[in-house]
């Protein structure tokens, strides 16, 4: 017997064992069909072995019938399994026809010579010989395989969850690998090749077995949960607990006489340590309850423990305990019930009581834990004593490690264990009345320990009454309607949300719907001396949000004035009201098939077009300077009159929205970054849809080469090689857009250590500097531009690639093999490319809004509907303008980086070309609003940045309200003139007092 035959016998044994295992665990249509396929392969391989052992041609002919009986059954089983996995239901008659054809082929193979005609004799043995109709069966066989694989491929693309896609993809590749077993047809047609088809078939079976055991294929139950928890119970006295029990008790500093409750798996291990410190100890051990509940349920019920039984265990009187230890337990609760558990813990804790939560991190490795334990035992005693200790627990250890491995690999599909990361723990504590005071990883980065303290809740203060004149409120309600004048605190609160943590007192909110209502509102403000603070949509993130500059203002919310008044596709402009958002206009143009693109910003789809333009904001496209793109404004000045700028002052002027300057003094700039009036309408130039778009992505791996890179980018814009804005960001910026601050990895310390920043960047393939350049035009123009970009950026960047819409689709089709070959997260890369490509084409998205959530410990980063103000994110923007020279860029960074380091924030530097000679540095201060110390340091950091940068000549183009008083000094002739204008046009100071003016 040669080695190949021995391997094939082992393969037969494996297929047979897998068949028995599957049927013993679960019997339904899917598993029975799958077992049918396994049995068919076993018959085929058994026939091969018998055929190769034949001594005569007559014996070989008889045994070849067994081979082809298995082959025919394989083709039917393969097709049927593919139908089941792909969730395709055929009419019964169709499946009957397929099986009927298989039966016909089987009968003909067994009784005639049309398909098998004689025997081939090779040096390695006898083999079948094809008859005249054999190709007809090969065609039938091939059709079933191709159809089955195509169904699986389609299902892998349309599966509802990523996990289902993941599993179906692997089934597809496994069956495709198994189909390579068809090479056994070669010797049937006279090719002298040993029939090694059993090898790919065996490899396919190994993959499928892996998917069954570790990935939940066909929802076959593998884990014996009772045994798992009993094993873990025994092992509670080994490493995972003994290693960090002492650390946990030390973290809460048990004092003599304190009442301590321990809740969770292995709680008893804490008893001696707590009592040794003089504390009184109570415990609740859940493992047996969990094991019993799980053993009585199936995977699909996704229930670890009856929550009512858990609450029954906590029937202590309120304010009983000084401290609570929650050990390896919280992550086992279903998601909605974690908050209920923490609220119950809060109830039984005394005021200012502490809770310590210990959970394993996702992907924690039991093998690593126990290897560490073994080394520790070796150091404390000796090698043989350590081996003896492990051997004593071998049975429990083996089962525990096996089940742990299964759980870790299957938890996503089964939903049984939802691990908590550090950010989730912090948010969970804050949302349920605790202030996190410490967090760290321990046990070789395998375990998170988090300590929280009960938050003191002060008695609710009575809502302060509005300071507005009641007559003024009555007059405003008569003008705007009762429903459009808000003075109740709950309605005012949403306008006080600010990413600066400095909410102002607001007296009222007015919501006009028309220019006429707004005019009357301004006149009433003059009459009653109200301070109006107009906002468009209130999404001025990092620059005050919707909150007024001064206390006791009346917010005028213009979001209901949201009409698109005119779209001129021939001259490529629109006329819009203040409430029209980026997303609204982009959708309108797309739905009406108008070949125009907006120039979108990173502020999100709900950001107002007028609001950003009046702040002189910018985007990425050809019309990136939004103030220059404005043409024709309608403004209500403080006396209630309507003024139209440019040619708009002439009723029949036809060039109002195509020629900016009009005749005489140009007034448009007076109404940007000012408080001289309320803009109610603007004309806005849009970009005609180009023939072709590509994005140039570049990376520079060295920190100190940014000055040279900026000078190279200057050459691109000043020579008009590129007619769009160019953006380049530091790795800290990219990281902050992809995840939240890793509090557990830094043990709560700030700022992010340089080594950790580099590790995260390496893991995510982020360079020190990362940039993007949109390229627009005809295909020939873009190709020419690419040549120039390559030449100018040569030796200035380490990586330069160009992507088009077609290339992104190509990457998407081959994301799986590319991910393996390139070792990158291809789906994430594709998502980022699509978002950037969409922005370049005028489709706004929320990706940049992820950054304000970087240090937020009160809210987890949402996947949709991001609102940094509502979610109390900490963000203050600092945005100076820097000449595009190496010396200026290097000097600027040498100023700001030490300031960020001193105040313990990350310098998330980003440069954007705003002219052909200057860049804006969008530099956020990202902080945790829930941490008073961080709030204080953030404002101090902004003040120091403003002071130092202005002293060195790097003045911001746009100000946070905190900087307006600092920058508008009366001893400056420019700001004295501004104040003179303000006093002349608005003598009572009714519009936005303090905004870019000291009045």
What is the DSSP-derived secondary structure letter of residue 635? E
At 176, list the tokens. Answer: 């495709």
Mean pLDDT of 772-779: 96
The residue with tokens 């190509």 is 810
Angle between helices 394-414 and 225-235 in degrees, nearest 10: 130
pLDDT, tens only, 135-146: 999 999 899 999
Torsion sign over Cα 283, 287, 292, 293: positive
Q: How far is CA 869 from its chain centroid?
A: 19
Q: Residue 197: which of 110, 74, 61, 113 has the closest Cα?
A: 74
pLDDT band at 790 (very low <50, low <70, confident <90, very high): very high
pLDDT, tens only, 414-425: 334 456 788 889
User: For residue 4, what pLDDT is reported?
Assistant: 78
3-state secondary structure of 309: helix
Question: Does residue 238 have a pLDDT over 50?
Answer: no
Is residue 265 within 8 Å of residue 236, measured between CB atoms?
Answer: yes
Between residues 251 and 147, the one the model is more confident about: 147
721 — phi, psi (to 5°)? Answer: -65, -40
Top mean-pLDDT range of 195-204, 439-448, 483-492, 629-638: 629-638
pLDDT, tens only, 41-55: 999 999 989 988 888
pLDDT, tens only, 796-842: 999 999 999 888 888 877 776 666 566 667 777 888 889 999 999 99
Between residues 243 and 391, the one the model is more confident about: 391
In this structure, CATH architecture of domain 1-215: Up-down Bundle (1.20)
Question: Does residue 387 have a pLDDT over 80?
Answer: no
> Which residues lie across from 923 on neighbouring strands?
878
Q: Residue 926: which of 912, 948, 942 has the closest Cα?
A: 942
User: For residue 821, what pLDDT is reported?
Assistant: 63
Is residue 832 within 8 Å of residue 854, measured between CB atoms?
Answer: no
Question: Does residue 402 have a pLDDT over 60?
Answer: no
Q: How far is CA 884 from its chain centroid?
A: 34
Is residue 214 within 8 Å of residue 412, measured between CB atoms?
Answer: no
Distance separating alpha carbons of residues 741 and 739, to the nearest angstrom: 7
In this structure, CATH architecture of domain 692-968: 3-Layer(aba) Sandwich (3.40)
At 752, list the tokens. Answer: 């992010």
N- to C-terminal Cα separation, the chain: 100
Distance separating alpha carbons of residues 936 and 925, to the nearest angstrom: 12
Is residue 293 within 8 Å of residue 324, measured between CB atoms?
Answer: no
Q: How many residues in total does the chain contain?
A: 999
Mean pLDDT of 139-158: 87
Q: Residue 840: which of 724, 734, 918 has the closest Cα?
A: 724
Mean pLDDT of the chain: 85
Mean pLDDT of 493-509: 90
Question: Does residue 292 have a pLDDT over 70?
Answer: no
Distance separating alpha carbons of residues 739 and 766, to the nearest angstrom: 13
Distance separating alpha carbons of residues 878 and 939, to the nearest angstrom: 11
Question: Does residue 150 have a pLDDT over 60?
Answer: yes
Distance separating alpha carbons of residues 728 and 726, to the nearest angstrom: 7
CA distances from 874 to 914, 923, 944 (A): 26, 13, 18
User: For residue 628, what pLDDT is reported?
Assistant: 95
pLDDT band at 295 (very low <50, low <70, confident <90, very high): very low
What is the DSSP-derived secondary structure letter of residue 488? S
Pairing of strands 125-130, 259-264: unpaired
Residue 987 has a CB neighbour count (10 Å cut-off) of: 12
Mean pLDDT of 940-960: 97
Mean pLDDT of 787-803: 96
Mean pLDDT of 890-895: 98
Distance separating alpha carbons of residues 355 and 452, to the nearest angstrom: 5
Mean pLDDT of 490-513: 91
User: For residue 285, what pLDDT is reported?
Assistant: 54
> Which residues lie across from 450 on neighbouring strands?
357, 439
Distance separating alpha carbons of residues 956 and 544, to the nearest angstrom: 15
Distance separating alpha carbons of residues 163 and 211, to the nearest angstrom: 12
DSSP per-residue string spanning 651-720: TT-S-TTT-SS-SSS--GGGGSSSSS-EEEEEEEE-EEPPSEEEEEEEEE--GGGHHHHHHHHHHHHHTT
User: For residue 894, what pLDDT is reported?
Assistant: 97
Domain with CATH 1.20.1070.10 in the chain: 1-215
User: For residue 460, what pLDDT is reported?
Assistant: 41
3-state secondary structure of 283: strand
pLDDT band at 213 (very low <50, low <70, confident <90, very high): confident
Range of weakest confidence among 232-236, 339-343, 465-469, 593-597: 232-236
At 911, list the tokens. Answer: 């440069």
The CATH homologous superfamily of the domain defined by 225-454? Vaccinia Virus protein VP39 (3.40.50.150)
Q: Residue 348: which of 454, 458, 459, 257 has the closest Cα?
A: 454
pLDDT, tens only, 240-252: 445 555 666 666 6
Range of weakest confidence among 451-460, 578-587, 665-674: 451-460
Sheet holding 769-777, edge to edge: 799-803, 692-700, 769-777, 727-730, 910-913, 918-921, 881-883
Question: To the nearest whole percent, how much of the chain has pLDDT over 70?
Answer: 83
- pTM more than 0.85: no
Question: For the CA atoms of the chain, what is the radius of gyration?
Answer: 35
**Element (H or E) spanning 521, and its range?**
helix 515-528
Range of weakest confidence among 215-219, 276-280, 395-399: 395-399
Question: Does residue 964 have a pLDDT over 80?
Answer: yes
Range of weakest confidence among 56-65, 414-423, 501-510, 579-588: 414-423
Distance separating alpha carbons of residues 993 and 531, to the nearest angstrom: 7
Question: Does residue 311 have a pLDDT over 60?
Answer: no
User: For residue 303, what pLDDT is reported?
Assistant: 35
3-state secondary structure of 842: coil
Question: Does residue 922 have a pLDDT over 50?
Answer: yes
Question: Does residue 923 have a pLDDT over 80?
Answer: yes
Domain with CATH 3.40.462.10 in the chain: 692-968
Residues 420, 426, 432, 435, Cα dihedral to 10°: 150
pLDDT band at 444 (very low <50, low <70, confident <90, very high): low
How many helices (H) and strands (E) would you count in the chain? 35, 28
The residue with tokens 């077992």 is 35
3-state secondary structure of 22: helix
Is residue 118 within 8 Å of residue 106, measured between CB atoms?
Answer: no
Distance separating alpha carbons of residues 677 and 639, to the nearest angstrom: 9
Between residues 501 and 294, the one the model is more confident about: 501
Question: Does residue 393 have a pLDDT over 50?
Answer: yes
Q: Residue 454: which of 316, 325, 323 has the closest Cα?
A: 323
Residues 6+ apart with CB under 8 A from 904: 750, 751, 937
Is residue 732 within 8 Å of residue 752, measured between CB atoms?
Answer: yes
Domain with CATH 3.40.50.150 in the chain: 225-454
């Amino acid at each position: 017997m040669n080695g190949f035959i021995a391997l094939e016998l082992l393969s037969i044994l494996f297929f047979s064992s897998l068949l028995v295992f599957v049927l013993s665990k679960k019997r339904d249509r899917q598993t029975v069909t799958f077992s049918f396929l396994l049995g068919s392969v076993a018959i085929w391989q058994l026939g091969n072995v018998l055929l190769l052992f034949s001594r005569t041609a007559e014996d070989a002919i008889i045994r070849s019938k067994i081979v082809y009986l298995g082959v025919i059954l394989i083709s039917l089983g393969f097709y049927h399994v593919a139908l089941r996995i792909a969730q395709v239901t055929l009419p019964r008659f169709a499946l009957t026809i397929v099986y009927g054809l298989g039966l016909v082929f089987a009968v003909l193979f067994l009784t005639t010579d049309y398909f098998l005609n004689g025997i081939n004799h090779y040096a390695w043995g006898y083999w079948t010989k094809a008859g005249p109709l054999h190709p007809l069966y090969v065609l039938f066989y091939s059709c079933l395989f191709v159809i089955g694989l195509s169904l699986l491929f389609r299902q892998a693309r349309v599966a509802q969850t990523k996990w289902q896609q993941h599993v179906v993809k692997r089934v597809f590749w496994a069956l495709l690998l198994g189909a390579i077993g068809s090479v056994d047809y070669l010797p049937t047609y006279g090719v002298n090749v040993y029939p090694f088809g059993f090898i790919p078939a065996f490899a396919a079976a190994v993959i499928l077995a892996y998917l069954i055991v570790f990935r939940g294929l066909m929802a076959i139950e593998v884990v014996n949960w009772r045994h798992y928890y009993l094993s873990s119970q025994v092992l509670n006295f080994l490493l995972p607990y003994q290693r960090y029990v002492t650390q946990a008790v030390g973290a809460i500093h048990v004092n003599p006489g304190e009442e301590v409750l321990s809740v969770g798996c292995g709680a008893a291990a804490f008893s001696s340590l707590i009592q040794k410190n003089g504390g009184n100890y109570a415990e609740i051990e859940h493992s047996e309850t969990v094991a019993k509940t799980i053993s009585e349920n199936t995977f699909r019920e996704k229930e670890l423990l009856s929550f009512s039984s858990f609450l029954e265990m906590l029937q202590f009187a309120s304010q009983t305990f000084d401290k609570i230890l929650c050990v390896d337990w919280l992550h086992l609760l279903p998601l909605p019930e974690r908050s209920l558990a923490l609220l119950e813990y809060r109830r039984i804790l005394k005021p200012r009581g502490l809770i310590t939560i210990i959970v394993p991190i996702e992907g924690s490795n039991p093998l690593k834990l126990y290897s560490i334990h073994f080394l520790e035992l070796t150091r404390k005693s000796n090698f043989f004593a350590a081996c003896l200790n492990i051997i004593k627990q071998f049975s429990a250890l083996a089962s525990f490690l096996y089940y742990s491995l299964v759980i870790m690999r299957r938890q996503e599909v089964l939903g049984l264990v939802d691990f908590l990361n550090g950010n989730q723990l912090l948010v969970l504590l804050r949302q349920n009345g605790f202030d996190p005071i410490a967090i760290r990883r321990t046990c070789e980065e395998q375990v998170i320990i988090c300590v929280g303290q009960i938050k003191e809740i002060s008695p609710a203060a009575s809502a302060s009454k509005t300071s507005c004149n009641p007559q003024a409120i009555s007059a405003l309600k008569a003008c705007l309607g009762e429903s459009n004048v808000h003075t109740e605190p709950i309605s005012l609160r949403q306008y006080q949300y600010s990413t600066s943590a400095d909410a102002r007192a607001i007296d009222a909110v007015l919501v006009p719907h028309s220019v006429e209502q707004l005019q009357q509102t301004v006149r009433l403000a003059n009459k009653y001396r109200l301070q109006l603070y107009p906002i468009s949509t209130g999404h001025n993130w990092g620059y005050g949000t919707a909150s007024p500059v001064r206390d006791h203002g009346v917010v005028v919310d213009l979001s209901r004035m949201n009409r698109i008044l005119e779209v001129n596709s021939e001259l490529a402009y629109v006329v819009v009201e203040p409430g029209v958002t980026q997303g609204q206009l982009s959708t309108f143009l797309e739905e009406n098939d108008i070949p125009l693109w907006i120039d979108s910003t990173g502020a999100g789809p709900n950001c107002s077009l007028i609001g950003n333009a009046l702040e002189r904001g910018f985007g990425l496209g050809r019309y990136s300077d939004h103030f220059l793109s404005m043409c024709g404004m309608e403004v209500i000045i403080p006396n209630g009159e309507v003024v139209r700028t440019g040619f708009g002052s002439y009723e029949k002027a036809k060039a109002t929205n195509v020629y900016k300057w009009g005749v005489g003094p140009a007034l448009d700039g007076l109404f940007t970054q000012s408080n001289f009036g309320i803009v109610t309408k603007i004309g806005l130039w849009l970009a005609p849809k180009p023939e072709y778009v590509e994005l140039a992505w570049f990376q520079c791996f060295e920190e100190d080469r940014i000055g040279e890179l900026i000078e190279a980018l200057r050459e691109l814009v000043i020579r008009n090689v590129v007619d769009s804005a160019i953006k380049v960001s530091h790795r800290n910026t990219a990281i902050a857009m992809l995840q939240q601050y890793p509090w557990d990895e830094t043990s709560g310390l700030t700022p992010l250590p340089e080594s950790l920043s580099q590790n995260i960047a390496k893991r995510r393939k982020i360079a020190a500097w990362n940039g993007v350049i949109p390229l627009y035009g005809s295909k020939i123009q873009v190709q020419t531009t690419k040549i120039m970009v390559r030449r100018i950026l040569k030796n200035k960047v380490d990586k330069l690639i160009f992507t088009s819409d077609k290339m992104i689709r190509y990457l998407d089709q081959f994301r799986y093999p590319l991910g393996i070959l390139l070792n990158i997260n291809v789906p994430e890369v594709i998502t980022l490319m699509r978002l950037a490509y969409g922005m370049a084409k005028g489709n706004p998205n929320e990706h940049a809004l992820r950054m304000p959530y970087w240090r937020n410990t009160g809210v987890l980063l949402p996947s949709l509907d991001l609102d940094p103000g509502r979610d109390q994110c900490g963000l203050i923007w600092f945005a100076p303008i820097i000449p595009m020279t190496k010396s200026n860029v290097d000097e600027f960074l040498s100023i700001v980086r030490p300031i960020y380091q001193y105040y313990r924030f990350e310098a998330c530097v980003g440069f954007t070309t705003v002219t052909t000679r200057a860049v804006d540095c969008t530099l956020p201060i990202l902080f945790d609003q829930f941490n008073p110390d961080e709030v204080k340091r953030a404002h101090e950091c902004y003040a120091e940045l403003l002071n130092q940068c202005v002293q060195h000549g790097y003045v911001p183009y746009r100000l946070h309200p905190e900087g307006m008083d600092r920058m508008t000094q009366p001893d400056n002739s420019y700001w004295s003139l501004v104040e003179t204008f303000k006093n002349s046009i608005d003598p009572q100071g009714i519009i936005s007092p303090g905004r870019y003016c000291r009045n």
